[in-house]
Structure formats: structure tokens, C-alpha cells
Homo-oligomer: A and B are copies of this chain.
């Protein structure tokens, strides 16, 4: 089969690989119909993710059809159309029992990282019963690819952890795909205002179409003053960090109102300053989270109800044969306007 393989920092190629086989009783083999590329894949390609070694097939998102199941799989059978979760969960360990699938002792984010992933014609899914979701009758597969990772990540790490409530004022720092996913799902809770902050006017324009009530281009360094002016000097109830660098995290510290929440989504490579000399008395909450995908069933219901259209995040389509072009387009998002790109296998 064709597969996109990480070959070490800066290197990737389409290789021919054998179709994966069942390795454990709880495995399933899925034939991929659609997959996509995540910002994390670009991190891997930079060499920033040590758990992902050269030779690995990338990708942790996608939909497809089950073609084979292990002896212990009871929920799925060959022919079932499924959504693949970016998180593999055994459903049995202490963390899974708490719904904290991201820290499953034999799973977590392993696809396209510690084991071969979904940017291929076939993929082996461990713990299939608790890591796959049946695609509802009549659902659009393409839309559901957004439920593998980006929508649950924006929702769980940003919106749920950020405790967004009706009437709240929310700031989202970063309007890339993940910030936009937080924007779309924040609206489940009817905040009064969602302020999107970014350096890219194009993405801010997209934000407005996606429901942002206010946008700020932060290039002039006056973001905090602007938000304080908008909020009567109080700050925001929830600040969502969706970039992953110290400066944007510290901006969240400056934006949050007393009693508010900073919900971190960004993947950080270095430490940030935590200004406890100011924040110790401000009754704030800071959260971090690797997505658990515990809300995937809820998100499937919301999508099915028509209250959320995940396809709005999709800007480009490619065939698997052209996956290198897909990477190029996705990697030059500022130029191409790419949000999420669909790759059809």
C-alpha cells in the first residue's frame, strides 16, 4: 500500500508498505477512505517529537471501513464504516476509567507517533472497541474527519476546560485551525462575545465568518489594552491559548479577569513565565490537556443535529497520490489560506 513516511527531520516520502495485520486480539484493520494533516505532523517533520522515529507512517485522523477484527473485538465487524479517534484507549486502565483516554497506559496518542498512522491506505487500530466510532447513517464522511482530532481538541482543551458559559466573554489567542475549532465549539454555550486574536488578517476574516464577535490583529502590541477597553477594564472570563509559544500564554495571563480561566491548547516546546506575583490573588484557573476524545459521542450528536458543520474547516482536497502537495499546501497556510486539507485514499 501507499503510505506517507517520516524519514527523519525535514524528510518525508510516499513509500510502498505492506498492509498491516492484526497484532492483538483487540486490534482492527481499517481501510482508510479519507485522512488529513495536523499541525502536529509538521512538528514531527521538524524533529520535535522524539517518540516518533524515522520510518513511521504519519497521521492520526481519518475515516474508513473495517476490514478485519481481532478475536476480542465485539463492537465492530468487517464492513463497518468508522471514524478513527486520534487517541487509542483500552477502556480498562485507571486513566480510561476516568475518561482520561489521553493517558491510557497502553494507548493515548500513539497513531502516527509510536505506531504507524492513518496517512496510508490501511491502518491497524489497537483497542478498536474503544478507539473507533461507528459513522451514523447518512453522515458525511468528510465532515467527520474533523472529529478525529481537531474538533474534540478545540472543544475539550479549549471550551470545556475553559468552562465557557452563556453570557461570557471569551478570547481565543490564535486563529489557526485549532483556534477556529475552539471558536466553533465555544458557540455551543452561547458566550456573549468571542474575541479572536491573531497576526493574520485573513484568518481573522475567517474567524468573523465562523462567529467571532470581535477580532484583533495583535501585531501592534496593543492587544491587552484593546481587550481591557472592550471589557470595562475587567478582562475576559476565558482565555484560550491556541498557539503554543510563551508570548501568547503570557498574553492570556494579561487578558484573564479575576475568577477567570486560561485553557491551554497549544503544544509548547519551552517553559513560560507564570506571573504569580500578580495572579496569586486573582482566583484564576489554568488548565492543560491532551485531548481525551471523550466527547466524540457528543460531538457526533451535535454534528448530526446540524448545529455544527465541520466541513467549514476544510479548504482543500487531494488524492493520496498527491499527499506531498497536500503537505505543501497545508505547510504554507499563510499563503494558501489552508485550514484543513482532505486526502482521499
- Chain A residues with a Cβ under 8 A of chain B: 24-26, 70-75, 90-92, 94-100, 102-103, 129-130, 165-168, 187-193, 213, 244, 246, 249, 258-259, 264, 266-277, 279-290, 292, 294, 297-302, 304-305, 307
What are 21 A-B pairs at a CB distance below 8 A? A25-B74, A26-B74, A91-B91, A91-B92, A92-B129, A94-B297, A97-B297, A166-B301, A167-B298, A167-B302, A168-B301, A189-B189, A190-B302, A192-B304, A192-B305, A246-B276, A249-B274, A268-B280, A269-B277, A271-B276, A285-B285
Using known A-B contacts A130-B91, A166-B302, A275-B271, determine if residue A190 contacts B192 with beta carbons closer than 8 Å: no
* Apart from the given pairs A189-B189, A266-B280, A285-B287, 9 other A-B contacts in the complex at a CB distance below 8 Å: A24-B74, A25-B25, A74-B92, A97-B99, A167-B299, A192-B305, A264-B280, A267-B281, A274-B274
CB pair B189 A95 closer than 8 Å: no
Using known A-B contacts A273-B274, A288-B282, determine if residue A192 contacts B302 with beta carbons closer than 8 Å: yes
A258 proximity list for chain B (CB < 8 A)? 95, 100, 103
A103 proximity list for chain B (CB < 8 A)? 258-259, 283
A259 proximity list for chain B (CB < 8 A)? 95, 98, 100, 103
Choice from B72, B249, B302 contacting A74 with Cβ under 8 Å: B72
CB pair A273 B271 closer than 8 Å: yes
CB pair B74 A305 closer than 8 Å: no
CB pair A270 B280 closer than 8 Å: no
A71 proximity list for chain B (CB < 8 A)? 25, 71-72
Of listed A90, A102, A290, A305, residue having the most chain B CB within 10 A = A305
CB pair A72 B75 closer than 8 Å: no
A166 proximity list for chain B (CB < 8 A)? 188-189, 298, 301-302, 307
C-alpha gap A9/B298 in the complex (Å): 44
Choice from B72, B96, B276, B290 contacting A26 with Cβ under 8 Å: B72
C-alpha gap A31/B97 in the complex (Å): 26
A98 proximity list for chain B (CB < 8 A)? 259
Can you name the residue of chain B whose Cβ is closest to the Cβ of A108? Answer: B281
Can you name the residue of chain B whose Cβ is closest to the Cβ of A169? Answer: B301
C-alpha gap A10/B282 in the complex (Å): 28
C-alpha gap A290/B278 in the complex (Å): 11
Can you name the residue of chain B whose Cβ is closest to the Cβ of A270? Answer: B277
5 nearest interchain CB pairs?
A72-B72, A167-B301, A192-B305, A268-B276, A274-B274
Q: Nearest Cβ in chain B — how far from A8, in angstroms?
A: 22
Q: Nearest Cβ in chain B — how far from A163, in angstroms?
A: 11
CB pair A280 B297 closer than 8 Å: no
Q: Nearest Cβ in chain B — how far from A186, in angstroms?
A: 11
C-alpha gap A268/B279 in the complex (Å): 9
C-alpha gap A102/B166 in the complex (Å): 22
CB pair B74 A192 closer than 8 Å: no
Can you name the residue of chain B whose Cβ is closest to the Cβ of A168? Answer: B301
CB pair A100 B283 closer than 8 Å: yes
